[in-house]
A and B are shown apart, each in its own frame.
Chain A
């Protein structure tokens, strides 16, 4: 639960120069229904022009830049700061890439990924003979 990847900095190290932006994995929820996959991501402070969503070869990449804090502010307390968000998912075949829809509201990204028709469940009508 407390793994550290190569990008992460240990908490015991002090905050260094503000031009060194940390890269952060945002929190994601993944939901599914018959028609689509829905990926919900917390991206506080991100505007739509600083958000990049890429779907390529079965891989979904969400990357964003956050610039909400002034550069030379005097911090009396600092728990978060400007950062880059990055998260990648392997997505199974059968997503209709052309109709992926993304919506950013209140700092939360809602990414709708519709399934192609072949994957949707279908009702088979029984004919009376």
Chain B
């Protein structure tokens, strides 16, 4: 796609840009997995074309939620915890940089809100979240009654 230098074709370019834009809108509407999505080998039941892609990890005393949020800083992410439902929401705007023309735009502009039913109660006061290199990590401490517990086996003679 990196082949056009001349500005002489601007009308044609504009037409193709519009068509590309339309196509990318359609792609977003249908949220069809692209080859790169396939390559991740995500289980199809869990992945349904949502953004951001998210993992939930059971870490014993904590639950960890990780999400791919490239380009978003902590200011653009909103997290709410209501009982056992964690909601991640925000917006990512992808604009053509000032003074540039676009040859190809694959990175989506998204406005998202995803809610996750957690498998156990968590301690809302001790929840923490950080975003680093485009990965959001939320650490949720399990409530005392949901903590894993060791049961000692007693021998009866």
A residues neighboring B (CB under 8 Å)? 1-5, 7-15, 22-33, 37-38, 40, 42-47, 68-70, 73-81, 83, 89-92, 94, 104, 106-108, 119, 121
Do B55 and A92 touch across chains, with their CB atoms under 8 A apart?
A: no
Do B107 and A106 touch across chains, with their CB atoms under 8 A apart?
A: no
Q: Is B89 an interface residue (CB 8 A)?
A: no
Do A107 and B57 touch across chains, with their CB atoms under 8 A apart?
A: no
Do A45 and B27 touch across chains, with their CB atoms under 8 A apart?
A: no
In the assembled complex, the Cα of A37 lies from the Cα of B4 at a distance in Å of 11
- A22 and B107 in contact, given A2-B33, A107-B70 (Cβ under 8 angstroms): no
Instruction: Beyond A7-B39, A83-B39, A107-B68, list 9 extra A-B contacts (CB 8 Å).
Output: A2-B35, A3-B35, A8-B35, A8-B38, A8-B39, A23-B39, A30-B2, A31-B100, A32-B100
Partner of B41, one of A11, A37, A43, A91: A11
In the assembled complex, the Cα of A40 lies from the Cα of B126 at a distance in Å of 37
In the assembled complex, the Cα of A102 lies from the Cα of B102 at a distance in Å of 19
Cβ of A25 to closest chain B Cβ, rounded Å:
4
In the assembled complex, the Cα of A78 lies from the Cα of B92 at a distance in Å of 22
Q: Is B54 an interface residue (CB 8 A)?
A: yes
Do A1 and B27 touch across chains, with their CB atoms under 8 A apart?
A: yes
Residues of A within 8 Å of B59, CB to CB, are 73-74
Residues of A within 8 Å of B107, CB to CB, are 27-29, 40, 42
Residue in B3, B35, B46 with the greatest tally of chain A CB atoms within 10 Å: B35
Do B38 and A107 touch across chains, with their CB atoms under 8 A apart?
A: no
Partner of A76, one of B42, B43, B56, B94: B56
In the assembled complex, the Cα of A24 lies from the Cα of B94 at a distance in Å of 21
Q: Give 1 or 0 for each of B123-140: 1 = CB within 8 Å of chain A CB.
A: 000000001011100000
Q: Give 1 or 0 for each of B32-58: 1 = CB within 8 Å of chain A CB.
A: 111110111111101100100111111
Do B2 and A92 touch across chains, with their CB atoms under 8 A apart?
A: yes
Q: Is B103 an interface residue (CB 8 A)?
A: yes
Residues of A within 8 Å of B50, CB to CB, are 79
- A79 and B46 in contact, given A29-B105, A31-B100, A31-B103 (Cβ under 8 angstroms): yes
Residues of B within 8 Å of A108, CB to CB, are 70-71, 134
Q: Is B66 an interface residue (CB 8 A)?
A: yes
Residues of A within 8 Å of B66, CB to CB, are 68-69
In the assembled complex, the Cα of A15 lies from the Cα of B106 at a distance in Å of 26
Closest to B105 in A: A29
Partner of A43, one of B2, B32, B102, B134: B134
Residue in B27, B39, B58, B73 with the greatest tally of chain A CB atoms within 10 Å: B39
